[in-house]
Amino acid sequence: MSSANPAVTGRTLKAIATIGLFAAVLGGCGGGADSVAGKIISGGQEPIEISPETFAAPVPCPPMQLKSNTHLIRKFVRGKDDDPQGLLYQATIKDWANTCTQEPDGSRRIKMGLSGDVTTGPAWKGGEVVLPLRVAILSGESGDKPLASELLTVPVTVGAGAPSETWTLIENKFTVPAGRSAKVVFGFDEGRRR
């Protein structure tokens, strides 16, 4: 006569006992069954808190535009303009980028970064170069006055005989009012060259 119940072997009893012991351990951790199970599931680490801003849509940023013919400054010894042997240095703007964040009043704050190089010439004796960099926030409407325009100075120390030095400017003082379109226009201000 065959039994409908499968035979209970030592291996089956051992598996049942192990599961029961595991459940007892989890259940016996004074209100901590969830945390023990969570630690086991997460590899023993505490849960990671994620900010809802992580999943928020990015805040649109105004486009950045290098003003025509303002990417280069060349400084010569007085009286030796355009003489290659009289070149003190030349500075360039090479890279730029920006990101924006939403302010509580609905405006957008622009964080921008600009960088470039200062390359020394044969007449350079070493010292500090102060680069005049103009940044303007222009409205999307033609004929409007700039929302902001400021001359920023970037000091760069370049040693005598140094081939070149990289400069970087990070600025976050500019904002665009809520509901306004704008663009960022920038470049060296030749009128304030030193």
Are 70 and 114 contained in the same domain? yes
Tell me the residue type at 160.
A
172: CB partners within 8 A, 6+ apart? 109, 110, 111, 112
Report pLDDT for 23: 46
Per-residue model confidence as pLDDT tens digits over 170-185:
999 999 998 888 999 9
Closest CA to 90 of 152, 150, 165: 165
User: What separation in angstroms does the CA of 42 have from each of 9, 23, 29, 37, 38?
Assistant: 34, 18, 18, 9, 6
Are 169 and 132 contained in the same domain? yes
Report pLDDT for 30: 47
Are 38 and 65 contained in the same domain? no
Higher pLDDT, 191 or 14: 191
- Round to whole Å and give the CA distance between 75 and 86: 9
Task: Convert 90-114 to b/e letters by CB count within 10 Å (16 or more is b).
Answer: bbbbeebebebeeeeeebbbbebeb
CB 53 within 8 A of CB 62: no
Are 23 and 119 contained in the same domain? no
Q: Can you list the alpha helix ranges (DSSP code H) found in the chain?
A: 10-27, 33-41
Cα three-residue angle 123-129-130, rounded to 5 degrees: 145
- Check whether 105 has a pLDDT greater than 80: yes
Report pLDDT for 131: 96
Q: Which domain holds residue 147?
A: 56-192
Number of domains in the chain: 2
Give mean pLDDT, residues 116-130: 94
Are 2 and 67 contained in the same domain? no
- Check whether 3 has a pLDDT greater than 70: no
Are 63 and 45 contained in the same domain? no
Tokens of 77: 């010894």
Q: Average per-residue pLDDT in the chain?
A: 80
Are 97 and 156 contained in the same domain? yes
CATH no. for residue 124? 2.60.40
Are 38 and 77 contained in the same domain? no
- Check whether 1 has a pLDDT greater than 70: no
Per-residue model confidence as pLDDT tens digits over 4-50:
445 555 555 455 555 544 444 444 444 444 444 445 555 556 767 77
Tokens of 114: 């600009």
Report residue 52's pLDDT band, with 50, 70 and 90 as the boundaries: low
Residue 157: strand pairing partners? 128
Are 145 and 81 contained in the same domain? yes
